[in-house]
Structure 1
Amino acid sequence: MDPEFAAYLERVRAHRAELGESLAALDAALALPVGLGALWRRRVRAALTELEHDLRDHRSITEEPGGLYADAVARAPRLASVSKLQMDEHLDFVEVVQRLLGERDEGLESAEAVAAHREAATELVGRIVRHRQRGADLIYEAYEVDIGGSG
């Protein structure tokens, strides 16, 4: 592997760890009892805000010209559909986080609204975990490199 691309993959790996940390922070915030009221709301909002930032960075890093997905497809055209799915999910994840943040800004007045918000955010966590699993598999298939499961 060319040293420049190897350095790029290290950048992807480091960012993947950051994304994992923001995902873990959201999961931890969602696990707090909603009875904490304002504290619960602040923690979830902070975690969603950080996740949005990391998702945007992730999209920028992996979808840049000559980046991960373009290179993986060039090396292994069979990975085109998985690469497209990953990129489509990036957009969806950012939209979901923005919607959740908007709900927070509008206020969650009822217990039912809080429960629905929590459920939607929890579902998002699961979707991103599966996305990261597919991403690790894609990178391994294209480069025979373990991008790291702990980050």
Structure 2
Amino acid sequence: MGLGGVMDEEFQRYLQSVRAHRAELADSVAAVDAALARPLAHDAWSERVHTAMVELAHDWRDHRSLTEGERGLYADVRRSAPHLAGSADRLLAEHAEVSGQLRSVIEQLEGSEPVCDVASFREEVTDLMGRLVRHRQRGSDLVYAAYSWDIGGSD
């Protein structure tokens, strides 16, 4: 892919797909935030949050497939910029944790019993959205440090 820091055309296309996907992930986080911001007393609150969370979980799975594995971004960073391997490993470790949190939130929303403490639940999900924003920021920093390439996310 990155071939020791030299970017071939294929890798540039790959980074463009990562950039496009980052924008989708940002949109999904924004949709969850918008759903969370609705009044708790609104009848459709949990339904809107659920819909947004399912879409976010889908985009998160796509993110993992782009960045993990032998041909993923983090493996290339380890090969191309070994001094950044620790940062790549930390981002990778977050993937399983965030996936578990996303699964837990969706399971609570899909449960047969309504969420008991909706205000606390909203705080928990809001904290998770903040964690995703910070993950994206660190990922952007990592790519820039490894390849001097700004993957942005909102273009």
Q: TM-score range by the shorter chain?
A: over 0.9
Alignment-derived partner of residue 120 in structure 2: 116
- Map 1:1-150; keep pairs closer than 5 Å: 1-37=7-43, 39-106=44-111, 107-110=113-116, 113-150=117-154
Q: Distance in 2 between matches of 1:116 and 1:85?
A: 28
Unaligned 5+ runs, structure 2: 1-6
Deviation at 1:64, TM superposition (A): 3.1
- Equivalent pairs counted in the alignment come to 148
Deviation at 1:88, TM superposition (A): 1.1
Q: Distance in 1 between matches of 2:154 and 2:140?
A: 11
User: Secondary structure of 2:41's partner?
Assistant: helix
Structure ranking higher in helix proportion = 1
CA RMSD of aligned residues (A): 1.2
Deviation at 1:134, TM superposition (A): 0.3
CA offsets 1:82-122 (integer angstroms, 9 cap, x no match): 11111111111111011011111223253xx2122111100
Q: Distance in 2 between matches of 1:131 and 1:42?
A: 26
Q: Distance in 2 between matches of 1:16 and 1:91?
A: 18
Q: Give the structure-2-normalised TM-score.
A: 0.91
- Show structure 1 runs of 4+ deviating over 2 A: 107-110
The residue type paired with residue 19 of structure 1 is L
Moved more, 41-50 or 75-84: 75-84
Identity of aligned residues (%): 50
Q: Give the structure-1-normalised TM-score.
A: 0.93
Deviation at 1:150, TM superposition (A): 2.6
Deviation at 1:81, TM superposition (A): 1.1
Conservation of the 8 A alpha-carbon contact between 2:19 and 2:151: yes
The residue type paired with residue 129 of structure 1 is V
